[in-house]
Structure formats: structure tokens, C-alpha cells
Amino acid sequence: MSIDDFKKTKLWHKEFKTAGYDTKLIFKRAKTKFEILSSLSFFLTIMASEILLNQPIKKKINMIHNNFLYKFISKDSEKVDRVETNSFSLSLFMVLQKLFKEEDTLEEYADEIINLSICHWSKIQQINEKQYFKKKDEIINLWKKNKSIVLSKIDSSKIDLIILLYKSFEVGVGNKEIIKKNIAVLGFSISKVFKEFRYDVVNEFKKKEKKLKKCKITN
């Protein structure tokens, strides 16, 4: 992925923010493969962020996913940075596992979706280009390490990702019973997000993808 993709993502947000990120409008204006994948990736990024924002573990670690905190943190800034990156990555992987289970044909776009989701997340976090490249390398390495789990069709792979997501918070609890309760709460929060899974976005993507492929064959 080049820096051009990051710059194009910034322009994408500038265009659609004023329109309230309207799903149908976004896909209506998408004319290329890059644009429809970017649109899909944006909504997947939002779903991953909802997993992080709508669960009580953040209260336990006293941490909010917000770049604004960096200026107020000294010795723990490195940990905050690491936890934010790792927990977002694992949340995104959870969303992707759900997506690919519902629509396994989209697995061919897995690497592209990861790359574009990094662009969207970086824009939302308001990080600069230097930070973007650092985050990109870290998330891509995590993706390579966990790709087989995300693409696995085995039911237990979901549990594996939930446990990895829990570990990414670095809560540091030694009591096994508390850990089990925390993981159960996290799993509930993930299920809550998945109940509102954006099937409308996936359907818009598929319709647009079909048109683009038909147009390519015709031409």
C-alpha cells in the first residue's frame, strides 16, 4: 500500500463526512474496485471500533481509544499505543471472521480490506503519515500471524480470537475466575455488535461488485 491510498482515504472522509456517511450515497458514487473496497472497509472499521467502545473492559484498564490522550501520558504512552493498535487489530479480525463466514467469496479481498481498514482507522485516529506507516507495519504483521485463524471455518477459532483480543488489553489479572468472567463479558459485547452486523453494507458492496465485473466483461 502506498501513501497515496492514505491520502485518498483522507479525501474520501472529507467528501462523505458532510453527508453523514450515507451508505447508499457512498456506494452510488463508487466507480472503481478501490472505491467499493474502501467503502466496505470503512464500515468494517466502524464495527471493529464499536467492539472496543461498547464493552466494560475499557473501564478496568482506564483507557479510551483516542489519540487525544497521548499528550497527557508519559511513561505509559508506549503501552497505550500498543494496546490501542493490538486491540483494534483483533477487533477488526473478529469482524472479518464474521464477514468471511457469511460471504466466503470476499476472502479474495482480505489483504486489500485490511490495508484500507488501516487507512480508515489512521484517519479516524488523526495520526500523521509517519505514525500511519508504523501502525500499518504492526497491523500487517498481526494479520500475517493470525490470518489462518480468521479464515478458519472451525467454530473454536472465534473463541481463539476472543481470547487474543482479551490478552491485547494487557489487563494483567491473575485470578482465573475473573479472567473467565471478563472474557465472557467481552464475548457478550462482540455478540451485541454482531447482532447489528451491517448486512446492508455487504449487500451494497456485492451489487456494485457485480456491476463492475459485468462492465469489465462487456468491455
Domain regions of the chain by residue span: 3-218
Residue 83 pLDDT > 90:
no
Indicate the average pLDDT of the chain: 87
Confidence of residue 185 (pLDDT cuts 50, 70, 90): confident
pLDDT value of position 54: 64
Confidence of residue 78 (pLDDT cuts 50, 70, 90): confident
Residue 63 pLDDT > 50:
no
CA distance 169 to 178: 14
Q: Which of 26, 1, 29 is nearest to 122 (CA)?
A: 1
**Helix residue ranges, H only, 77-171:** 77-102, 110-124, 129-150, 156-168
Q: Which of 85, 84, 102 is nearest to 197 (CA)?
A: 102
CA distance 1 to 47: 23
Residue 66 pLDDT > 80:
no
Which is it for the CA torsion 212, 120, 26, 31, positive or negative?
A: negative
Residue 55 pLDDT > 70:
no
Residue 156 pLDDT > 60:
yes
CA distance 219 to 214: 9
Confidence of residue 72 (pLDDT cuts 50, 70, 90): very low
pLDDT value of position 56: 56
Cell 488523526 belongs to residue: 126
Number of C-beta neighbours around residue 9 at 10 A: 23
The pTM assigned to this predicted structure is: 0.89
**Grid cell for residue 127:** 495520526
Q: What is the per-residue pLDDT across 86-137, written as a single tens digit (0 to 9) for each?
A: 999 999 999 999 999 999 999 999 999 999 999 999 999 999 999 999 999 9
- Are 177 and 165 spatial neighbours (Cβ–Cβ below 8 Å)? no
